[in-house]
Amino acid sequence: MSTNILKAKVPSLKREELSGRVKTQILYYAMAIVPILWIMVFHYLPMVGLRLGFANYTFRKGVFDSEWVGLKWFMTVFKTYDFKIVIRNTLLYNITRILLVDMFCGVVFALLLYEIKGRISNKIFHTCMLLPAFLSWTVVAACLLLFGQPDTGMLNAVLEDLGLERINIYREKEYWPYIITIAKIYKNSGFASIYFYSALLSIDNQLFDAAKLDGANRLQQIKHISLPAIRTVFCITLISSLGGVLGGAVSPNYELIRGSTVLNDTTLTLGLYIRNSITAGSSLSFAQSTAVGLMQSVIGVVLVTGCNAVIRKINSADSLF
């Protein structure tokens, strides 16, 4: 009899605990409604349109009634000359971004910021690092235009003073890999350092005091204390960044080159390729852009899970999942 009473009380206590938790956290659940709806509407519902990548889509028949053609559009995309250039540019730009901006510059800026002990100096340097991240690519592109404008730009004025020929960077495609990379370093490096800087702030200062007593200089302290402290954040950043190795926002390349098609050989990436396909407006463009987007997402998932598996095998504490 007493056993049955205890069994009846346990579910009752669990229900009361759950009810109390919901009541105390009702505001948090309410705040989560908007992001959940946003994810559902803009990330999950559009997945219905993935069928376009496998169908001969026409506006008259719609998404579900269009003729199924299998992998036809994937094969068509792979055979185009432009797509080879797109894949090359996308990989080079994103690998450079991951290694140079997200990793190297992020770590270096975080270490420099951590070394500034003065409170006011730290805040000033921190603000200067983060400010470019809040500028839109349109503003950055406008600044670049003022700098590299063929007639009145500062760049050509300096070249002229040095006795060199004036150049029009908007007609010379070989300069743009460097220009776009420098623009990304300027805009994103400060924001990339936040995660590493947060990890550095969690270090116990007694470790540095002990290292000083043992005769370690500043570089040795960074090597043996600071860098191991950000190892986990470094691995997580690497894993999450690999998901976008075939991605890429449209804004950086499109805004900086001002929509010029002359520079496509060195600036056309997957983001721009999909945008150009969609703006073309034909049903064929919708099908091909859907196929490219699906391929992009699948490869991203494979790279993330693969990198995470390798890191988990080396040290499970550094893996993302």
Least confident of 81-85, 140-144, 181-185: 81-85
Predicted pLDDT of residue 178: 92
| Cβ-contact 287, 295 below 8 angstroms | no
C-alpha dist (Å) from residue 113 to 120, 221, 223, 228: 12, 15, 16, 17
Compute the distance between CA of residue 85 and CA of residue 268 in angstroms, rounded to an integer.
7
What is the model's pLDDT at position 7?
Answer: 46
The reported pLDDT for the residue numbered 18 is 63
Q: Is the pLDDT of residue 6 over 50?
A: no
- What local confidence, expressed as pLDDT, does residue 2 receive? 47
Q: Report d(CA 140, CA 237) in Å as an integer.
A: 25
Which residue did the predictor score with more confidence, 51 or 8?
Answer: 51
Distance CA 116, CA 39 (A): 40
For 140, the token pair is 């950055």
pLDDT of residue 164: 84
CATH 1.10.3720.10, applies to 71-318: yes
Please count the other Cβ atoms lying within 10 Å of the Cβ belonging to residue 30.
9
Q: CB-based contacts of 252: which residues, under 8 Å, 6+ apart? A: 137, 180, 183, 184
pLDDT of residue 105: 92
Written as one letter, the residue type at 242 is L
> Strand, helix or coil at 281?
coil
Mean pLDDT of 33-48: 88
DSSP output for 121-159:
HHHHHHHHHHGGGGS-HHHHHHHHHHHH-TTT-HHHHHH
Q: Cβ contacts of residue 160 below 8 Å, gap of 6+?
A: 166
Q: Which two tokens stand for residue 314?
A: 């080396």
Dihedral angle, C-alpha 167, 173, 175, 179, nearest 10 °: 110
User: What is the radius of gyration, based on Cα positions, of the chain?
Assistant: 26
DSSP state of 67: E
At 10 the pLDDT is: 47
Burial of 164 (0-12, 13-18, 19+ CB in 10 A): exposed
Map residue 167 onto helix, strand or coil: coil
- The whole-number pLDDT of residue 284 equals 57
Query: What is the pLDDT at residue 306?
Result: 92
Q: What is the pLDDT of residues 66-119, one digit of tens each?
A: 888 888 888 888 887 678 888 888 889 999 999 999 899 999 999 988 888 888
Quickly state the pLDDT bin for 36 (edges 50, 70, 90).
Answer: very high
Within 10 A of 77 (CB to CB), how many other CB atoms are there?
A: 20
| H-assigned helices in the chain | 2-24, 26-39, 62-65, 72-79, 81-96, 106-115, 119-130, 137-148, 154-161, 176-201, 205-213, 218-221, 227-229, 231-242, 250-257, 264-267, 270-280, 283-314
Q: Tens digit of pLDDT for each residue in 279-314?
A: 766 555 778 788 888 888 888 889 899 999 999 998
| Residue, of 261 and 193, whose pLDDT is higher | 193
Indicate if the pLDDT at residue 154 is higher than 50. Answer: yes
Average pLDDT, the chain: 83
Tens of pLDDT, residues 189-232 = 888 898 899 899 888 888 888 988 888 888 899 888 999 999 99
Question: Which pLDDT belongs to residue 8?
Answer: 47
- Under 8 Å between Cβ of 319 and 311: yes
pLDDT, position 17: 66
